[in-house]
Amino acid sequence: MKFGIIGLGYVGLATLCGLAKAGHEVIGVEKHIPKLEQLKGGTVPFHEPGMAEVLSEYQDAITWTDDVGLASGADYVILAVGTPSREDGSCDLSYIEAALAAFKTPQKIIIRSTVPPGTTNVLKVMYPAHTFAIVPEFLQEGRALADVLKPHRVVIGSDDLEMCEELAGIYGRLGVPLVCTSPINAEFIKYASNAFLATKISFINDLSRLADKAGADITTIADGMGLDPRIGRSFLNAGLGYGGSCFPKDMAALLHVAQENGLDLPVIRAAAETNDAQIRYLLSKLDVTRGMRVAFLGLAFKPGTDDMRDAPSIALAQQLLLQEVEVIGYDPLATWDYRQADTVEEALDGADYAILVTEWEELVNLKPEAFAGMRQPRFIDARNAWKFARDPRDVQYEGVGRMQQKVNPSTSK
């Protein structure tokens, strides 16, 4: 079959690679010319394992263009354009509307972009010539291609029975659970999934503060909770809170949809507020004064990606800079607008504090002697991931919700 894919960010490019690998012909449409030129040259414009290899191997099956109209001859057109947040938390759907308006003939449209509940039904009225289905993505950055090739489930939302059956036949070959439902249910499943995971993170972060006060270890508590199959251990890691391109945006959009419907969602709202407060809580662990230097170990919102969208490191740095504290960051892949070191050693040299912001393997395995170049070896483990936490030696170590492991080198010898 032939698929046209509009928008080649994480979702669009991962989808394109998956379809090409499955033997389909794909037309990749990207309006941002520098990115398009990179893709034509076989370069993936962001870090995502496996994509470059797929693009190289299946280049003959891919047509690259900035012309949306060239996708009109495809069997299906997949929309994977951005839906950024507006100031009020609502989603900006202008990129979707612009793509749909560019087609002069009826198309079978698959929406992969994340859109608020009710959007597909509105688009059906605005563009009645097209047939719509929404197939929300559940991709994790750092393993997006793997999630396309072997997802946990596929959700198809469409009121068109024929289209639903066609898509079920295509996705059924993946051998994973299929959910065929209405468009609004499919949209809700996407938002509800992300909101639940974000709430799970905020829940454990709430408890981490109490663990600090009470002298308990939140990591052990989470391990014990996670053994219950009804709860599970994933997303119960206390730390800096969630970031990235999905959770913050989707939480804001869900709260906005609720407001439009005259409702409040107190659990979702509290989870978002807790996430914002976690940065302030982490800052309270630092006794900083003007002119101090703080080294950030890791910058990306999570390991395995170079994505800095809504990364906690940025909010943390902004707060420290307001206190006239110097910040320097190191990350294997990601870059930011502030001072950046090329090596861990450069970041730590002369620093008053070090903060583990992103749990890259090379950073969680840093040995205590790696901190010797600091003015004072004070280490805040904001991800509770450092492998030497139980034997920090001369490093003054503190995690999040692990007060019983706080060690002062002056009293530990």
- Helix or strand run (H / E) with residue 64: strand 62-65
Start-to-end CA distance of the chain, whole Å, equals: 69
246 is catalytic: yes
Token pair recorded at residue 183:
């468009």
CA distances in angstroms from 306 to 32, 134, 261, 335, listed in the order given: 19, 28, 37, 7
Q: Which of 180, 135, 116, 163 is nearest to 11 (CA)?
A: 135
Q: Are 306 and 340 in contact (CB under 8 A)?
A: no
Helix axes 266-283, 312-322, angle to 10 degrees: 50
Are 136 and 155 contacting, i.e. CB atoms less than 8 angstroms apart? yes
Concatenated DSSP letters for 279-333? Answer: HHHHHTT----TT-EEEEE--SSSTT----TT-HHHHHHHHHHHTT-EEEEE-SS
Could you tell me if 113 and 81 are in contact, meaning their C-beta atoms sit under 8 angstroms apart?
yes
Beta bridge partners of 6: 29, 79
Which position among 91, 164, 180, 246 bears the catalytic label? 246
Active site residues: 246
